[in-house]
């Protein structure tokens, strides 16, 4: 289930939010490791999918600088199971990104340059998991704090 919405706090402040609840389960699944008898995992939660995820974005367009904008985005999830036996899980995590840019037109071309910082608080968290990985190598780390520049160019309207 996913719920989302937006709210205009002031003419130049907009807040968007999305929440996802996931409760996926195996209908029929038997797991048979090489050294053990088969284990029936029917009805157990699927690994690799966090139960809760939240995404918040605050978008600000300062009235004094036409075309300028700032976004602060925070994303987080609950812990995530990483194996079929449900014996190992990640820690819950959250991270914050910030983007600053300008949107305007130069002649008949729309331009939107921006600068951004991801993971501004340099949080350590698992970016993705390898389900049922050999020898406990389940975790793929997310990048630390990083900066980037971008430019969107468009023609016509």
pLDDT digits (tens, 9 = 90+) for 101-156: 999 988 889 999 999 999 999 999 999 999 888 888 999 999 999 999 999 999 76
Q: CA 46, CA 131: separation in Å to the nearest integer?
A: 10
Instruction: Output the pLDDT for position 120.
Output: 97
Q: Once rounded to an integer, what is the mean pLDDT over residues 20-33?
A: 84
Task: Please give the pLDDT value at position 33.
Answer: 64
Give yes or no for a contact between 94 and 123, defined as CB atoms under 8 angstroms apart: yes
Confidence of residue 56 (pLDDT cuts 50, 70, 90): very high
Rounded Cα distance between 135 and 123, Å, is 25
Which is nearest to 12 in space by CA: 65, 51, 49?
Answer: 65
- Rounded Cα–Cα distance for residues 115 and 133 (Å): 37
Counting residues of the chain whose pLDDT is more than 90, the rounded percentage is 66
Spatial separation of the C-alpha atoms in residues 10 and 70, rounded to whole Å: 14
pLDDT tens digits for range 83-107: 887 788 999 999 999 999 999 988 8
Name the residue with higher pLDDT: 11 or 86.
11
Verdict on whether the full-model pTM lies above 0.75: yes
């Amino acid at each position: 289930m996913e719920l989302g919405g937006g709210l205009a706090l002031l003419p130049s402040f907009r807040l968007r939010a999305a929440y996802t609840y996931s409760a996926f389960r195996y209908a029929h699944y038997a797991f048979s490791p090489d050294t053990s008898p088969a284990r029936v995992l029917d009805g157990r939660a699927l690994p690799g999918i966090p139960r809760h995820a939240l995404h918040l974005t605050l978008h600000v367009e300062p009235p004094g600088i036409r075309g300028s904008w700032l976004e602060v985005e925070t994303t987080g999830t609950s812990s995530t199971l990483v194996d079929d036996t449900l014996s190992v899980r990640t820690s819950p995590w959250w991270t914050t990104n910030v983007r600053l840019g300008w949107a305007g037109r130069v002649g008949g071309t729309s331009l939107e340059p921006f600068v951004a910082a991801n993971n501004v608080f340099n949080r350590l968290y698992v970016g993705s998991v390898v389900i049922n990985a050999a020898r406990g190598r389940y975790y793929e780390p997310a990048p630390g704090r990083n900066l980037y520049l971008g430019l969107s160019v468009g023609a016509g309207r």
